[in-house]
């Protein structure tokens, strides 16, 4: 289960009902946590920017049609797949991450810190598109790469891509590390003096534990 947390503008466009009640939402079970999404209008076209709650991994999906904007789960998986492949993540990593994004709950944003980072990344994305010559001429792959190289205060000035790679590398190497640790032979414990007995056999000292 994962949650797509949308800004008010995007929820209005989706015509999604706002959840009511005080029931607690399920905790994210995905490696990158929940996702935050914001609706942008660039050159009069609807664009959605997605950001991972856990690592701020970000990508811009531009020029969504009226039908496509109502299919955000598919848009999220498609955009995330292209981003990970362009950043040369291994196929098994991409497949594992995408398999986590099947069940979706659309809800409002909750974390102001993540929302602040999302707004900052939204402004950057718009600036990069305009600097790249507009939606028709810009290199979207290069823009998404650049978004994920920016140091972010929420990440203690690390970049989203660096934090994402560190997180995913840690997940993949943890089991291998446990195997290496378990295969090491334990060093024998040094006995205490009161645990040994020393006797003589001719000119030879015999030590018995």
pLDDT reading at 170 higher than 60 = yes
Regarding predicted confidence, which is higher, 26 or 22? 26
Using alpha carbons, select from 141, 142, 133, 159 the residue that is nearest to residue 55. 159
Please indicate, yes or no, if residue 200 is contained in any of the structural domains: no
Q: Give the bridge partners for 198, in sequence order.
A: 207
* Highest mean predicted confidence (pLDDT) among 6-20, 94-108, 186-200: 94-108
Tokens of 16: 């999604």
CA neighbor of 38 nearest in space, from 78, 2, 9, 73: 9
Its domain, for residue 32, covers 2-174
Output 180 or 113, whichever has higher pLDDT. 113
pLDDT of residue 169: 81
DSSP summary character for residue 66? T
Q: Is residue 152 in a domain?
A: yes
Q: Is residue 12 part of a domain?
A: yes
Residue, of 152 and 183, whose pLDDT is higher: 152
Q: Kindly state the average pLDDT of the residues 10-34.
A: 69
Q: Which helix (H) or strand (E) holds 106?
A: strand 104-108
Domain membership flag for residue 101: yes
Q: Is the pLDDT of residue 152 over 90?
A: yes
User: Partners of 200 in the beta sheet?
Assistant: 205
Domain count for the chain: 1
In the DSSP assignment, the letter for residue 49 is: E
Give the CATH number, domain containing residue 158.
3.30.420
Residue 83, pLDDT above cutoff 80: yes
Residue 16: pLDDT band with limits 50, 70, 90: low
Name the CA dihedral angle for 54, 59, 60, 66, rounded to a multiple of 10 degrees.
Answer: -70
Is residue 119 one of the residues assigned to a domain? yes
Asked if residue 148 lies in contact with residue 161, where contact means CB atoms within 8 angstroms, the answer is yes
**Proportion of the chain above pLDDT 90, given as a percent:** 53
Mean pLDDT over residues 107-117, rounded? 94
State mean pLDDT over 110-136: 95
Residue 163: CB partners within 8 Å, gap ≥ 6?
A: 55, 56, 57, 155
């Amino acid at each position: 289960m994962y949650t797509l947390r949308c800004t008010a503008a995007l929820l209005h466009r989706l015509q999604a009902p706002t959840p009511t009640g005080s029931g607690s939402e399920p905790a994210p079970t995905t490696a990158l946590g929940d996702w935050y999404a914001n609706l942008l209008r660039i050159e009069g076209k609807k664009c959605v920017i997605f950001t991972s709650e856990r690592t701020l991994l970000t990508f811009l999906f531009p020029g969504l049609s009226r039908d496509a904007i109502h299919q955000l789960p598919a848009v999220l998986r498609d955009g995330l797949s292209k981003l990970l492949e362009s950043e040369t993540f291994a196929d098994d990593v991409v497949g594992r991450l995408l398999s986590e994004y099947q069940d979706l709950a659309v809800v409002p944003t909750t974390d102001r810190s993540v929302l602040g980072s999302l707004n900052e990344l939204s402004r950057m994305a718009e600036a990069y598109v305009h600097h790249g010559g507009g939606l028709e001429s810009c290199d979207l792959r290069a823009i998404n790469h650049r978004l994920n190289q920016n140091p972010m205060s929420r990440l203690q000035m690390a970049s989203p891509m660096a934090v994402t790679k560190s997180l995913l590398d840690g997940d993949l190497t943890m089991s291998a590390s446990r195997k290496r640790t378990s295969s090491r032979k334990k060093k024998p414990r040094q006995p205490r003096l009161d645990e040994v007995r020393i006797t003589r056999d001719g000119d030879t000292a015999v030590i018995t534990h």
